[in-house]
Structure 1
């Protein structure tokens, strides 16, 4: 299993960043480079506790599907999305939104994942996914930051 964290400072209040982070359209725009689309479940707008969405995206020249569940939700502090079905043996993503002293947000993502296929999956984690997945989260967070800071 791999675990990594990404921290992003955003000049917008936590409730705004929390809401933006759950918007399907914001997510798909942040992942435009992989042609990500919501194809089942919640297709537009904001997600909430118990919602599911199936994403379709192109990575490494192949199309992948992943169905995620919002399994924990405490606005505006945090939410969790977990893979129900998809390419990972395990995917658990905690999104934290903490206010800083100026009323802005420190957004912290904690991701745990395991690739499938036993030893071959372990090799894929170490050689490809350990750099690819943080890169995707950084790109997503840069987009969330831009949206949150532009609509103050």
Structure 2
């Protein structure tokens, strides 16, 4: 199984970072171009057992991806796992650690196995780049909350 981990510190208390992640529309806002992400359900309440279906589009090709939240420990961490989608295995753990009262370290750890038909170094490299860009976008979105 492969693993990618990215981390970023944001100038917000851990409670604010957790609250932002409870709003699943955040997924649409932090998707790195050229990927388009759209939630197929509305009015989702996050928690243990919640299912999300996401529509991913890249270069005109679309795919639905269904995940389930399988671990929920506010405000420390949560994990989503693929139910159906492009990977053989996908586990995405989001950790939030208070650094100070006003700053939080976010660590996203992804463990995955590609579908054997898709397995290649290029796909892993692209995935790693997208996860890093997603984290940068997350930092920008959360940091913008300070000025609002």
Separation in structure 2 between the aligned mates of residue 101 and residue 13 of structure 1, nearest angstrom? 8
Residue number among 115, 118, 121 corresponding to 1:121 in the alignment: 118
Separation in structure 1 between the aligned mates of residue 20 and residue 45 of structure 2, nearest angstrom? 8
Which residue number corresponds to residue 126 of structure 2? 132
CA contact (8 A) 1:24 1:44 kept: no
Structure showing the higher helix proportion among its residues: 1
Which residue number corresponds to residue 38 of structure 2? 37
Which residue number corresponds to residue 7 of structure 1? 7
Structure showing the higher strand proportion among its residues: 2
Provide the secondary structure at the position in 2 that maps to 1:89: strand
Which residue number corresponds to residue 144 of structure 1? 138
Task: Give ranges in structure 2 of 5+ residues lacking alignment.
Answer: none
- Equivalences, count: 145
Query: What is the alpha-carbon root mean square deviation over aligned residues?
Result: 1.9
| TM-score normalised to structure 1 length | 0.85
Residue by residue over 1:89-140, the C-alpha shift from the partner in whole angstroms, topping out at 9 and shown as x without a partner, is 00001100001135311100110011112xx433x2xx22222222222222
| TM-score normalised to structure 2 length | 0.87
Task: Give ranges in structure 1 of 5+ residues lacking alignment.
Answer: none
Runs of 4+ in 1 over 4 A off after TM superposition: none
